[in-house]
Amino acid sequence: MLFDPRPKESREDFFDREKELKLIQAYAKKGSPIILCLGVRRIGKTSLLKVFLNETSYPHLYLNARKLVDYGYSLTSSPP
């Protein structure tokens, strides 16, 4: 679904981000030890990453840091 607010995970649902997807693929192919996807909120960073990871077999770790708040971690507090 094109206008679903949740992150996309397949290329069929992903729209107009071929340039960014190719850029991430190029960095991964070069062997970059870490690739950061930075930008303002709600522009498709998570979708870009999920589509890339679902289409490749590169070893990866996906961590949704927003869930850390549920365990007592935040920018203003120390871990429990």
Does this model's pTM top 0.85? My answer is no
Give the separation between CA 49 and CA 10, rounded to whole angstroms: 10
Percent over 70 (pLDDT), the chain: 90
Tell me what the mean pLDDT of segment 40-45 comes to: 89
pLDDT tens-digit profile of 9-26?
Answer: 888 888 888 999 999 999
**pLDDT surpasses 80 at 2:** no
Coil, strand or helix at 21: helix
Q: Let me know the angle formed at the C-alpha of 25 by 20 and 30, rounded to the nearest 5 degrees.
A: 130
> Contact 28/67 with Cβ under 8 angstroms?
no
Give start and end residues of each alpha helix (H) in 1-80.
18-30, 45-55
Q: Let me know the angle formed at the C-alpha of 73 by 68 and 79, rounded to the nearest 5 degrees.
A: 135
pLDDT tens-digit profile of 47-68?
Answer: 999 999 999 988 888 887 877 8
